Structure 1
């Protein structure tokens, strides 16, 4: 059974760096692509075996040259949501360099079937280019939850919307560990053109009150510098997309092998962290 041995991670942020380290733990070659280079602290924290390439992410030829130099088989993109559309350049570069699998920057709520979502449009572009893809839905990253619900600022949970739809929550270590594990252990035939639906825990936003042992307050909008973004995210969870098993076309939960958390079984013996475990509640 052949598996992938050479990886490129694009983006050295909060998700990219842990993925790099998780891949290194699987004893594979990793090159980290960064548009502006790494600061001293990040560079020092990298495992010694990781190569770093500073490259213009708008230059397909330059990116392809990096992929070719390091004989990259798998590209994992972790670029920010604001730059999602720029992944077309990465896809073109991957195609030119003969990359075998492309994992676009998803790592969040379900976007499958949402024709207007930029992340879904990238998948459609990947299909037209003709590179196999692997897509990862993890719902909400558990460690970001306190910021979203305002628990530290208000001492209670403050929500916009009804808060009754189930949401998938997955810890950062579970996400990055899963990605590294399956991409280095499963054969290509089990990775290509697949959507992996993770779930460490599951609850409605209203049910978080009992988990955090505090009251839940509902409001019309969240104030402050991040208020607009937080309001949007909370309202999104009301639509159902927070569940990794959500079907945007049918507006219902998928079942069986496509249900929320269905991919968890691919990491046998692993303990998935609950919200309380991930946040040390």
Structure 2
């Protein structure tokens, strides 16, 4: 595959998009950011901005002409929009597509069956069809939960509030990665197109357990006054299915339950057995560096 130099980024203003944009620019890629028509978001002067109608394949195709790769970091609520983006990328002659994965191991059979990942799997199937029809290739990047973001918002652990949910006791290992490292992994994928072609790629800053993070939280914020909630993931998943039975289920409620299961549940594959860190130039964090991330959020939650 020829060198990738021109990259289109969809979802550049979300939680992950800015970190990927920064790393792409640092690495010297020519970046075009796709924005919804009427968007008021601003980007660095070196970035080309292309307003698009995400509901129009024609609009997306025109914006993607001449691009070597497309990276989608569209939010979960807009995952289905990627189907038009995939079709447009194929029509425009794009070489590589990275869909909005960036999380749990949706290639894992048990994980892929969770309803919160329905559209991710649909997009994966669409990409596989494009391999056959247009010759476009794809890469799925699996990195576990966002480590720094998860600490910042209290999803992984609330250091400032001294509380943590220990799912099934909190002793299962899981892979986790910071936003900046995910951006660096994307750069690594684009620089190694053949080695990362048409497969899932796995990266992590560290593999840890919730109990190990709790000990680091106590070092950072002090050992006293912690609330340690032992939570049954069977009950979390059951509550998710109950929410889905409602006439108008709340996606924010049921999706979060299933995502938690995909990270901390047994058999969902979020402790990555084989990593692509070395290929992508990603060095795992030392224990001191992991502690440093925890320390950062003692007063930032």
TM-score for both structures, normalised by structure 1: 0.81
What are the equivalent positions in structure 2 for 1:1-281 lying under 5 Å apart? 2-12=2-12, 13-39=14-40, 42-43=41-42, 46-68=43-65, 71-114=66-109, 115-116=112-113, 117-118=117-118, 119-130=120-131, 131-146=136-151, 147-149=154-156, 151-152=158-159, 154-183=161-190, 185-186=191-192, 188-213=193-218, 214=223, 215=226, 216-219=228-231, 230-236=256-262, 237-241=264-268, 243-245=270-272, 254=273, 259=274, 262-268=275-281, 270=283, 272=285, 274-280=289-295
Matched residues in 2 for 1:269 and 1:105: separation? 20
Matched residues in 1 for 2:145 and 2:292: separation? 15
Q: Which moved more, 1:134-143 or 1:108-117?
A: 108-117
Asked if the contact 1:16–1:78 (Cα under 8 Å) also holds between the matched residues in 2, the reply is yes
Matched residues in 1 for 2:168 and 2:281: separation? 37
Distance 1:24 1:154, change over 3 A: closer
Distance 1:270 1:168, change over 3 A: closer
SS of structure 2 residue aligned to 1:128: helix
Matched residues in 2 for 1:84 and 1:182: separation? 21
Deviation at 1:155, TM superposition (A): 1.7
Number of corresponding residues: 257
Asked if the contact 1:199–1:244 (Cα under 8 Å) also holds between the matched residues in 2, the reply is no
Deviation at 1:202, TM superposition (A): 1.0
RMSD: 2.7
Distance 1:6 1:168, change over 3 A: same
1:104-136, CA deviations, whole angstroms, 9 ceiling, x for partnerless residues? 100001000435332123111111122210110
Task: Structure 1 unaligned segments of length 5 or more: list them.
Answer: 246-253
SS of structure 2 residue aligned to 1:190: coil
Task: Structure 2 unaligned segments of length 5 or more: list them.
Answer: 237-251, 297-301
Distance 1:235 1:2, change over 3 A: closer
Asked if the contact 2:67–2:94 (Cα under 8 Å) also holds between the matched residues in 1, the reply is yes
Q: Provide the residue aligned with 1:251 in structure 2.
A: none
Asked if the contact 2:206–2:284 (Cα under 8 Å) also holds between the matched residues in 1, the reply is no
Deviation at 1:152, TM superposition (A): 4.8
Deviation at 1:203, TM superposition (A): 1.3
Asked if the contact 1:158–1:217 (Cα under 8 Å) also holds between the matched residues in 2, the reply is yes
Asked if the contact 2:108–2:268 (Cα under 8 Å) also holds between the matched residues in 1, the reply is no
Deviation at 1:268, TM superposition (A): 3.7
